[in-house]
Amino acid sequence: MTKKKISFTRDDLKKAVLKEATEHPVTLGTTALGIISGAGIALFGAETVFILSSLGFLSLGLSSFGYNYFVKKEHYQAKYLEKLQKDLERQNKEKLENLKSNLSSDFENGQKYATQGINQVKEVQEKIDSFLDVLSGKFDSNSITYKRYSGSVEQVYGSLLDNLKKVVDILRASDTINLSDLKTRLKELIKSDDPADIYEKETLEDRLKTLEQNLDKVNNLMSQNEKALTTIVKVTSELSFIDTSTKDSTGTIEDGIDDLETLSKNTKIYNS
């Protein structure tokens, strides 16, 4: 089953409103009755009652769609954004609770990355708090723009936590390899010409290569998270300069949200 894409872009807001307006009970019901009345024309001829009923119901359906799509647009946008926000917050809370205990574990290989992960969790929380402080100074917390920004940064937070979960999984897998014993044994085998020893040496070297590749993946994940932290700082800075009293701010707002959307996707590059 394909996981539903979470997005706070303007296009996704339009799709959400279109879905609500189209699937509203009044819109669906009256349109269906209009079609049924139209079918009556085909069955019983162009009777006035069927023509008027069909036109009347279809008009009501169109009016319902128009009212919900244009008049209640912001209501449905807020509803869509609030649901996404709550889902993300719930998911991230669960991720964070699991991560805190897992990152605190002792790892034989790559302990420095676990320590770095703990620092990243603390740092991203601080940076998001700063972001939201700046955001609340620019927009009302009930506004669509505020909800889009806060939702987008929550999504970035989730991507960063996903990367850290992957780090924990890789470090656990890497701990099945005893690096100290492995190196000691390789030193013992390095000068042997015995076929069995040569085979064992090749096997152990392959195991060592696996460990190195694992730690390289972990390093890439940590680097991606550091890039995410930097971008949050960048977007926060850009947000602080937005003059919400001018129409020119609209483009800047969209750029900021696009940056966060792109950041969330890019942060997940190594999380596949």
Residue holding tokens 């920004």?
A: 149
pLDDT of residue 260: 80
Same domain membership, residue 168 and residue 59: no
pLDDT of residue 3: 53
Same domain membership, residue 154 and residue 38: no
pLDDT of residue 272: 40
Same domain membership, residue 137 and residue 30: no
Angle among Cα 134, 139, 142 to the nearest 5 degrees reads 120
* Separation of alpha carbons 149 and 159, rounded Å: 16
pLDDT of residue 264: 75
Mean pLDDT per 10-residue segment, the chain (272 residues): 65 89 89 74 61 77 86 91 92 92 91 95 94 92 90 90 95 94 94 94 96 96 92 88 69 72 66 41
List the helix and strand counts (H, then E) for the chain: 9, 0
**Total structural domains within the chain:** 2
Same domain membership, residue 147 and residue 125: yes
Residue 2 belongs to a domain: no
Q: Are the C-beta atoms of 113 and 49 separated by less than 8 Å?
A: no
Same domain membership, residue 159 and residue 26: no
pLDDT of residue 192: 93
Backbone conformation region of residue 240, classed left if phi is above 0, alpha if psi is from -120 to 50, else beta: alpha
Residue ranges making up the domain that contains 59: 10-70
Residue 224 belongs to a domain: yes
Same domain membership, residue 90 and residue 55: no
Same domain membership, residue 196 and residue 78: yes
Same domain membership, residue 182 and residue 60: no
Residue 3 belongs to a domain: no
Q: Are the C-beta atoms of 18 and 76 separated by less than 8 Å?
A: no
Of the residues 70, 97, 120, the one at which a domain ends: 70
Of the residues 70, 86, 117, the one at which a domain ends: 70
Q: Are the C-beta atoms of 178 and 208 separated by less than 8 Å?
A: no
The overall longest dimension of the chain from CA atoms, in Å, is 102
Same domain membership, residue 88 and residue 65: no
Residue 112 belongs to a domain: yes
Same domain membership, residue 163 and residue 32: no
Of the residues 70, 90, 121, the one at which a domain ends: 70
Residues in contact with 150: Cβ distance below 8 Å, sequence separation at least 6, in sequence order = 85, 132, 135
Residue 4 belongs to a domain: no
Residue type, 179: L
